Amino acid sequence: MDDLIKIILPLYFIIYFGIAFVLKTLIVAKRIGKNPLVLPNDDSAYGLIGFYFKLTLIAMFIYVFAYALFPILHKYFLVIPSIDYQIVKYVGFICLAFSLVWTIIAQSHMKDSWRIGIDNEIKTDLVKSGVFSFSRNPIFLGMILSLVGLFLVTPNALTLIFMILGYVLIQIQIRLEEEFLTKELGKEYIDYKEKVRQLI
């Protein structure tokens, strides 16, 4: 199982971020003539959350490749033995697979409205169909599932920190985005919030 994890985890995260972020960014940028990555590089709340989220993602990538290349390091990450079982790891792989598929579907439903961050320049349509009829933030839900999956596949103190920190940062970003959408769209977004749950 450990040999399988060493191969699958790096490939998974390369594919996940390659398709869900890099490829999607390039496709949307070509269509709208603007980079959809709109996280500010300043000391505002938006900028700070974006900065810490980038750091978390970089740390996750380093961890995944360190795990694959130097598996002996795993024992120094304080393994959590109470859930370090094969069945739990399989559940983690299911979370990872579902997260990838779910995120790609959600992004396809957003079409050209997809952004990383809050776009103050171009007004986008409020997407309420497809998976957005079940969840107001399905892409964030997919990202949370990937964090849970990583923790279950390699349960240790470091992946637990990734999962908790990632969840907190996502929750803050959701609130910032929903506050912005409420100001921009008013009753339309308030009505949508009343009908559809934040995550699931």
**What mean pLDDT is predicted for residues 44-68?**
90
The pLDDT score that the predictor gives to residue 43 is 80
Residue among 101, 99, 119 at smallest CA distance from 199: 99
The pLDDT assigned to 47 comes to 84
CA dihedral 180, 182, 183, 184 (to 10 degrees): 80
130-163 pLDDT per residue, tens: 999 999 999 999 999 999 999 999 999 999 999 9
Cα radius of gyration (the chain): 18
pLDDT beyond 80 at 121: no
Residue-averaged pLDDT of the chain = 91
Tell me the pTM. Answer: 0.91
Q: Where are the domains of the chain?
A: 1-195
The pLDDT value given to residue 31? 87
Distance CA 77, CA 149 (A): 17
- Residue range 3-31: average pLDDT? 90
d(Cα 114, Cα 27) in Å, to the nearest integer?
A: 10
> Residue 99: pLDDT band by 50, 70, 90 thresholds?
very high
The whole-number pLDDT of residue 42 equals 79
Q: Which of 121, 139, 155, 137 is nearest to 192 (CA)?
A: 137
Q: State how far the Cα of 179 lies from the Cα of 169, in Å rounded to an integer.
A: 15
Amino acid (1-letter code) at residue 49: I
The 10 Å Cβ neighbour count of residue 19 is: 14
CATH class given for the domain over 1-195: mainly alpha
- Per-residue pLDDT at 126 exceeds 80: yes
3-state SS class at 117: coil
Contact between 157 and 78 (Cβ < 8 Å):
yes
pLDDT band at 115 (very low <50, low <70, confident <90, very high): confident
